[in-house]
């Protein structure tokens, strides 16, 4: 299974389609109800961040099949303004948009692996993986 | 002006004289396109449409500009009703341009004339193409706006159930626009129905992320400012887990797993009781 699917995020409706894609793939891979909810919620957060801060970008979702374990990886890409203080963004309650400030730290808790790379004025790439147990 | 008319006549003459050849070539091209793109559509119906399509193009060149008098719009409606895609129309027009150009290049050697007729072909087909684009985008815009209104109407109803108790069932994804509507309906409804308790049911909300939670918290807070109580019900187990993982604090207002439990709670708060009639 080497299929990777991407959804362009330009408006709020694209967030829904990214979510739907993630849910379908998670279901196909055999994730349970709770993990499906975790994955879709994580996608929702990442896609909304793209929509809110970068304006446009894309969410790619790929199944991972390594020896011994399977999983699902979400990659969020954008060419937006980038994140100046990554450490702060990963703190609970830090927000620049008046939201709850739980998005990124929340995604980290919802998923098993999490990495973030961001360059100011160039863009942000966030990758998060959930393993199938 | 005189030159224009003459060229117009030239192309009209050319097309009319070779109508059969053009038609056959055109039908072949359209058939090719359909075999490639439209697998699974009812082809019997479409062949009739092909004939009409071509007849229309001929009519357009022979009589008058039909892009304005409704003939074209009627045809579009018919095409779209039979389930043919928009690309059938655009491809059909492009095919028409191709077959006429082929004929032109074969029969005419004078370069000046060729380029002049070429311009006339543009003048012939472009209004139709413009109308196609205009018409289809209008149809889509209308559909989208109608559905948007329909969706908004279904969006966030507040239903008074018992004295001083109302329920707002939420179904489907919540976006910013809907969140605003939820807030408005909630606050207006609380005043209008004199609700002491409002139950917000999120059984039908597929994903509760930080944004949705934020909006619900804000709505509940606003209801609290009006002196009423908001109870969040219909929290599915997996949603409860994701809310905890996200670290969202919902301790400010009461939550219940089901609408029924929430209703029992609401009756208690408003000092009411359901008595069975035995």
pLDDT in tens, B58-90: 777 766 665 566 677 777 777 777 767 777 788
- Measured between beta carbons, the chain A residues lying within 8 angstroms of B248 are 100, 102, 106
Spell out the domain ranges in chain A: 5-131
3-state secondary structure A28-88: HHCCCHHHHHHHHHHHHHHHHHHHHHHCCEEEEEEEEEECCEEEEEEEEEECCCCCCCHHH
Same domain, B25 and B144: yes
- Measured between beta carbons, the chain B residues lying within 8 angstroms of A100 are 210, 213-214, 217, 248
Pairing label, strands B159-162, A113-119: unpaired
* DSSP-assigned letter for residue A101: S
The verdict on a CB contact (< 8 Å) between A41 and B209 is yes
Same domain, B178 and B223: yes
Q: What is the ipTM of this complex?
A: 0.84
Give the structural domain span for B148: 2-152
Same domain, B264 and B236: yes
Q: What is the CATH classification number for the domain harbouring B102?
A: 1.10.490.10
Statement: A5-131 belongs to CATH 3.30.9.10: no
- Measured between beta carbons, the chain A residues lying within 8 angstroms of B235 are none
Residues of A with a Cβ under 8 Å from any B Cβ are 12-13, 15-16, 19, 33-34, 36-38, 40-41, 44-45, 48, 92, 99-100, 102-103, 105-106, 109-110
pLDDT in tens, A16-34: 999 999 999 999 999 999 9
Sheet with B159-162, side-by-side order of all strands? B159-162, B165-171, B197-204, B229-233, B255-256
The verdict on a CB contact (< 8 Å) between A37 and B213 is no
| B221 close to A (CB below 8 A) | no
Residue A72 in this model has a pLDDT that exceeds 90: yes
pLDDT in tens, A96-105: 877 777 788 8
Using the structure block, give the residue that is written with the tokens 């804000």.
B218
- Select from B101, B127, B152 the last residue of a domain: B152
Q: Which residues of chain B have pLDDT under 50?
A: 1-6
The first and second tokens of residue B218, run together, are 């804000």
Distance (Å, whole) CA A73 – CA B240:
23
The verdict on a CB contact (< 8 Å) between B206 and A19 is yes
Predicted structure pTM score = 0.71
Same domain, B196 and B148: no
User: Number of structural domains, chain B?
Assistant: 2
Q: What is the pLDDT of residue B8?
A: 65
Q: Predicted confidence band at A1 (pLDDT cuts at 50, 70, 90)?
A: very low
Nearest to A45 among B173, B210, B239 (CB): B210
Residue of B3 and A52 predicted with greater confidence: A52
The verdict on a CB contact (< 8 Å) between A102 and B207 is no
By CA distance, what is A44's nearest residue in B? B209
């Amino acid at each position: 299974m080497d299929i990777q699917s991407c959804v362009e995020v330009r408006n709020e409706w694209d967030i829904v389609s990214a979510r739907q894609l993630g849910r379908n793939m998670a279901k196909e891979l055999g994730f349970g109800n709770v993990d499906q909810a975790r994955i879709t919620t994580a996608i929702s957060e990442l896609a909304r961040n793209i929509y809110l801060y970068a304006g446009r970008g894309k969410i790619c979702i790929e199944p991972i099949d390594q020896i011994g374990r399977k999983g699902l990886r979400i990659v969020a890409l954008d060419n937006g303004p980038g994140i100046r203080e990554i450490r702060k963004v990963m703190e609970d309650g830090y927000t620049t948009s008046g939201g709850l400030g739980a998005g990124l730290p929340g995604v980290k808790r919802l998923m098993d692996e999490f990495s973030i790379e961001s360059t100011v004025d160039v863009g942000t790439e966030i990758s998060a993986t959930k393993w199938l147990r | 002006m005189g030159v224009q008319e003459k060229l117009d006549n030239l192309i009209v003459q050319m097309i009319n004289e070779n109508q059969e050849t053009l038609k056959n070539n055109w039908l072949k091209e359209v058939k090719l396109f359909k075999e490639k793109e439209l697998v699974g559509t009812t082809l019997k119906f479409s062949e009739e449409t092909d004939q009409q399509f071509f007849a229309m193009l001929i009519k357009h060149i022979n009589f008058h500009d039909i892009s304005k008098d409704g003939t074209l719009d009627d045809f579009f409606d018919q095409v779209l009703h039979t389930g043919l895609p928009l690309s059938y129309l655009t491809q059909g027009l492009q095919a028409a341009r191709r077959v006429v150009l082929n004929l032109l290049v074969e029969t005419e050697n004078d370069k000046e004339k060729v380029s002049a007729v070429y311009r006339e072909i543009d003048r012939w087909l472009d209004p139709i193409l413009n109308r196609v684009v205009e018409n289809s985008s209008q149809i889509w815009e209308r559909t989208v706006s109608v559905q948007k209104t329909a969706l908004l109407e279904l969006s966030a109803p507040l239903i008074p159930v018992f004295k001083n108790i109302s329920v707002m069932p939420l179904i489907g994804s919540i976006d910013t626009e809907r969140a605003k509507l939820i807030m408005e309906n909630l606050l207006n409804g609380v005043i209008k129905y004199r609700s002491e308790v409002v139950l917000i049911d999120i059984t039908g909300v597929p994903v509760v992320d930080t944004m949705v939670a934020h909006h619900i918290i804000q709505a509940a807070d606003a209801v609290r400012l009006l002196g009423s109580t908001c109870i969040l019900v219909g929290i599915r187990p997996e949603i409860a887990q994701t809310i905890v993982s996200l670290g969202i604090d919902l301790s400010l207002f009461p939550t219940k797993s089901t609408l029924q439990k929430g209703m029992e709670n609401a009756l208690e708060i408003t000092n009411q009781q359901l008595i069975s009639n035995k």
